[in-house]
Amino acid sequence: MRLIVSSKQDKASQNILSNLLKKGWNEVASFRGSPVYKRKNGTADHIVTVEKHHIYCDDLDKDVEKSLDVEIDEIVFISKHSSKAGVHSLTVHPIGNYGEAKYGGKDGKLVPCSPHKMTSALLELMEKAEEKDIHQDYEVSFEATHHGPYLETPAYYIEIGSDESSWTDEKAGDVIADTVMSDRVKRKVERKDPVVVCVGGGHYAPRFTQFASRRKVSIGHMVPGWGMKYLTKKSFRELVKKTPGVEYVYFDRSSTTGKERRKARTWAEEYGLEAVRSDHFAKR
């Protein structure tokens, strides 16, 4: 089953949850004193809500499985995104820490990602934002891998940023709710696009966002330029191990040095990944 997780400490998460619950759910149980919802149409999707912010809920997958006697295949966290710049955004990103776990999770540990589902979510966000006519007010993008919680189940975050006015924007909440429940994102039969891990660039990953929107690829874990100082052969192996089906590595030369890229390229080759340009793949 797919698990959707909201947080009571997160205004955007509650906004998205409110919009989700308008789309056909039944209350079927409780988890840690809060309602558990299941889709009315008979699919296995469940929603749980946690009291604290979900980035600090390590091993939540195991706790929910034990409490509800279910088997979880994938977790989607609905969340806010914070930024001092205050740019309104709709973002998708994988989870984990290349270095110190300052915001949940474990030091140097990544969470398995869902390259096909995560990329589908990005593409669907772009379409839904245009359908709801908020595409000029919100930037849609990937973010590089960051923060907790630590899990052993494939997971990703989908977020509204970056300040209170956007977190409580009902249209933005509805766009993310529609995206999460779209057939493209929740279907079990996934696309077979090649899987790529990405290295370099900024935290908001504009190059990787453009790459995924223009070429037939699925993006896995992303290492931003600021994360290169934490990247070692061991952590690169973690990157590969936690990106199911990965075959390729794609470099954004910005925010990285030639020495950093050469090291990463060497590790990629050792783990059987081919370094490629974007034009290696078919256009969408």
pLDDT tens readout for residues 92-104: 999 999 999 999 9
Tell me the pLDDT tens digit for each residue of 202-219: 999 999 999 999 999 999
For residue 75, how far is the Cα from the chain centroid?
Answer: 10
Please count the residues of the chain.
284
pLDDT exceeds 60 at position 261: yes
Cα gap 204→91, rounded to integer Å? 8
pLDDT of 189 higher than 70: no
pTM for the predicted model, two decimal places = 0.97
Dist. CA 55–CA 221, nearest whole Å: 17
Q: Identify each DSSP E strand in 120-273 by its residue range.
A: 139-142, 155-162, 195-200, 218-223, 246-252
Residue 43: per-residue pLDDT: 77
Indicate if the pLDDT at residue 107 is higher than 60.
yes
Reported as a pLDDT band with limits 50, 70 and 90, residue 191 is low
Distance CA 135, CA 130 (A): 5
In the beta sheet, which residues pair with residue 171? none
Query: What is the distance between the alpha carbons of residues 280 and 262, in angstroms, rounded to a whole number?
Result: 20
Spatial separation of the C-alpha atoms in residues 88 and 137, rounded to whole Å: 7
Confidence of residue 84 (pLDDT cuts 50, 70, 90): confident
As a whole number of angstroms, the distance between CA 12 and CA 210 comes to 25
Which structure tokens are listed for 255? 């925010």
Could you give the strand order of the β-sheet that contains 246-252, starting from the edge strand earlier in sequence? 218-223, 195-200, 246-252, 274-276
| Residues 262-273: tens digit of each pLDDT | 999 999 999 999
Q: Which residue has the tokens 């889709």?
A: 39
Question: How far is C-alpha 256 from the geometric centre of its chain's CA atoms?
Answer: 23
pLDDT at 46: 97
Q: Is 80 exceeded by the pLDDT of residue 190? A: no
| Structural domains for the chain | 2-186 (3.40.630.50), 195-280 (3.40.50.10700)
Alpha carbon distance 158, 169 (integer Å): 15
Question: How far apart (Å, rounded) are the C-alpha atoms in residues 214 and 208?
Answer: 10
- Tens digits of residue pLDDT in 34-58: 999 999 877 789 999 999 999 999 9
